[in-house]
Structure 1
Amino acid sequence: MFRPKLLFTSLAALALGACSPQDPQAVTSAAIAKSVILPTYTRWVEADRQLAVSALAYCEGKETLETARADFLHAQKAWAELQPLLIGPLAEGNRSWQVQFWPDKKNLVGRQVEQLVTAQPQIDAAALAKSSVVVQGLSAYEYILFDSKPDVANAEQKSKYCPLLIAIGERQKQLAEEILQTWNNTDGMLAQMSKFPNQRYADSHEAIADLLRVQVTAIDTLKKKLGTPMGRQSKGVPQPFQADAWRSQASLTSLEASLAAARTVWEGVDNKGLRGLLPSEQKPLADKIDAAYAASLKLFAGNQRSLTDMLNDEAGRQQLNELYDSLNVVHRLHEADLAKALGIQLGFNANDGD
């Protein structure tokens, strides 16, 4: 017997099912992957393509040392912006060390570059890829362009180091392009952060948890990159040569770029970041994290001195302490309060035991 009322009820249920709101964690994971992470990886690839062109132009005498150094700083900043986004292939298989070797407690970069230019004076990118990670990336590139020992302002010295400089530029370009391609593959990270379940994540909550873990580890690493040269691990004795990018005096600008990138994951585009996952009753926490990012970034922006210079006087050291404390606030809010509010168990991070 035909029951129009029952049919209507069934159709209504189907319509409601079709209009049901998407899983907010899945929406956020996909949005962060597409609108925050992917554009940052793309800028990194573009910066490394320019680095490869720059190395060749500089070594052919078509570009000044100042321009070559500026291209390095651009690539260094693009890499710094990736620090809070090291999720997926770039975080695996020591790949990040192939881009930048830190910490370098025993000047391995300087020593191994010198050994390599003597042992393989005409090295190319293919041979470099089989060499130590210490000499493949930005740390070795920075050593050649900025350290006093290579002294590339001298034409004879420049010709000695140029094959390695060109090889590093090409190696970094190839690595960046390879990583971006794996992100965009059919079953790459972009797909894995957008549709669930998949081979990496059982559900969207796992992806959000992974994003937060990477954030927490990255902000903790920023504290280490600042605290180590300040002497926080050496009984208050400053260790300026333990800073990230100390030769180019880019330590603080790199830290600032990393922190600003971390904030993009928190805020998202069109409020589709981690912040948007907090329910309305958690607004006080969201406001706290907003304020913590703003306060720390304001301290970075207000400083015009290099890290090495600031370690030399009491006023500078006090400013560095304030910077460190501000990073610590951002870190603790993510590690404890935000993780709890999102129902995420963080477990150990990559820096535990350092």
Structure 2
Amino acid sequence: MRLLTVATTALLLSACGAPQRDVITHLADNVLLPAHQHWADSNRTLADHAQRYCSGGIDLDALHSAFGAARHQWAALQPQLVGPMSEGNRSWQVQFYPDKRNLVARQAEELLDAHPQLDHAQLADASVVVQGLSAFEYVLFDDSIDLPAQRERYCPLLIAIGQHQQQLAQEMVTLWEQPDGMLVQLKAFPNARYAEPRDALADILRVQITGLDTLKKKLGTPMGRLNRGVPQPFQAEAWRSRQSLDNLRATVEGAQAIWQAPGVHELVNDNSLATRIDDAYTDVLTRLDSAPASLVELVQDTAHKAWLDALYDSLNTLHRLHQNELAAALEIQIGFNANDGD
């Protein structure tokens, strides 16, 4: 009788794990790996455009466009960063944020003073502050730099950052696609990373929740919501390029891509909760569509406070639905995330 009970329990656990396995396989093949590949493609284009701009082959608008695309793909990847890119502080190499003391500008200038003919190897040995998109944005958009007139000084940094981002992104795709890589670990259990499908699903949900929680900080900090009501426009994520709200939208859409993947709704088994999460995504994105100006401008004009508060509250609702109700519905313990203790 005891053997029969054990066998029955094992069979039930296997049946419960099968839908989760199918969902995770779809997410791995059709959402998570493609997001990393799109990010790598955008960095390949950015590196190419940096070289071509500095050699006179394209104009500054084309370089701006390539930068915006790379930034967009990175923002979309934030709530999907399971696996190697989330480890070893690699994300700092892509974007240094928050920059509370204008370290990006200061360290970029100091690096170029020390290495006027900066190359990729020298950048790789430098601080993460100057290795990524934040430093690239500084060169492209800071009011103190006239890039067309100062190509000789700043092009080595642009080229080196482009090369660094291209190499980093391709390394991450390789870590996903190699025989024992992340893609396999999300599909064949048990493995060195996950004992069972539930562990992988929990990891994906934790990263998604952390991505949404981070957006609240990226919006709330420049609003002054996290600083006793004092607006901090220069703490917006992309204040120089005025792309903060575009990045926020990309991250929301990245989280939504996980939620809308086939089978995810069925795992929840609560139509009311699924509808509320659907509506929460729609509400945030609709509000972003109605943005009257860039985030830097909005936080400095009290006339827009109500709009900003409503956007923050909408984003908070979306985050809480995932962290509290969705996690409970999936019987997943979230625990701490990367923002706890900030």
Alignment TM class, shorter chain as reference? over 0.9
Q: For 2:157, what is the secondary structure of its paired residue? A: helix
| Structure 2 match to 1:207 | 200
From 226, 229, 233, the counterpart of 1:233: 226
CA distance in 2, matches of 1:264, 1:195: 22
Task: Please tell me whether Structure 1 or Structure 2 has the larger radius of gyration of its CA atoms.
Answer: 1
Deviations 1:5-25 (A, max 9, x none): xxxxxxxxxxx9xxx797111
| Structure 2 match to 1:353 | 341
| Structure 1 match to 2:59 | 64
From 90, 99, 110, the counterpart of 1:95: 90
Matched, 1:40 2:40: no
CA distance in 1, matches of 2:287, 2:55: 41
Of 306-315 and 111-120, more deviation after overlay is shown by: 306-315
Report if the CA contact (8 A) 2:24-2:201 is conserved: yes
Report if the CA contact (8 A) 1:267-1:276 is conserved: no
Q: For 1:296, what is the secondary structure of its paired residue? A: helix
Is the alpha carbon distance of 1:21 and 1:107 closer, same or farther for their aligned partners in structure 2, counting shifts above 3 Å?
A: closer
Report if the CA contact (8 A) 1:150-1:161 is conserved: no
From 173, 178, 181, the counterpart of 1:188: 181
Is the alpha carbon distance of 1:205 and 1:55 closer, same or farther for their aligned partners in structure 2, counting shifts above 3 Å?
A: same
What is the CA-CA distance between 1:112 and the residue it aligns to?
0.4
From 259, 262, 271, the counterpart of 1:266: 259
Matched, 1:23 2:18: yes
Q: For 1:224, what is the secondary structure of its paired residue? A: helix
Is the alpha carbon distance of 1:22 and 1:202 closer, same or farther for their aligned partners in structure 2, counting shifts above 3 Å?
A: closer
Identity of aligned residues (%): 52
CA distance in 2, matches of 1:21, 1:79: 34
| Structure 2 match to 1:164 | 157
Report if the CA contact (8 A) 2:47-2:159 is conserved: yes
Letter in 2 for 1:148: D
| Structure 1 match to 2:293 | 305
Alignment of 1:144-155 (within 5 A): 144-154=139-149
What is the CA-CA distance between 1:309 and the residue it aligns to?
1.3
CA distance in 2, matches of 1:318, 1:113: 37
CA distance in 2, matches of 1:351, 1:238: 21
Deviations 1:284-319 (A, max 9, x none): 011110110111111111224100111232232221
CA distance in 2, matches of 1:78, 1:44: 5
CA distance in 1, matches of 2:34, 2:198: 23
Deviations 1:42-80 (A, max 9, x none): 111111000001101111111111111111111100100
What is the CA-CA distance between 1:151 and the residue it aligns to?
2.0
Q: How many residues align?
A: 330
What is the CA-CA distance between 1:259 and the residue it aligns to?
0.1
Report if the CA contact (8 A) 1:228-1:242 is conserved: yes
CA distance in 1, matches of 2:301, 2:244: 18
Of 226-235 and 311-320, more deviation after overlay is shown by: 311-320
Letter in 1 for 2:265: R
CA distance in 2, matches of 1:101, 1:276: 38
From 250, 260, 265, the counterpart of 1:257: 250
CA distance in 2, matches of 1:238, 1:148: 21
Report if the CA contact (8 A) 1:150-1:158 is conserved: no
Letter in 2 for 1:264: A
CA distance in 2, matches of 1:122, 1:310: 39
Matched, 1:293 2:286: no
What is the CA-CA distance between 1:92 and the residue it aligns to?
0.6
Matched, 1:175 2:168: yes
Deviations 1:88-137 (A, max 9, x none): 11001111010001011001100100000100111111221111000000
Matched, 1:276 2:266: yes
| Structure 2 match to 1:246 | 239
Letter in 2 for 1:164: L
From 60, 68, 74, the counterpart of 1:73: 68
What is the CA-CA distance between 1:276 and the residue it aligns to?
2.9
* Cα-Cα RMSD: 1.5
Matched, 1:320 2:315: no
Structure 1 spans left out of the alignment, 5+ residues: 1-15
Report if the CA contact (8 A) 1:144-1:150 is conserved: yes
Deviations 1:164-220 (A, max 9, x none): 110000110000000001000111111001111000000000000001100111000
Q: What TM-score comes out, normalization by structure 2 length?
A: 0.94
What is the CA-CA distance between 1:149 and the residue it aligns to?
2.1
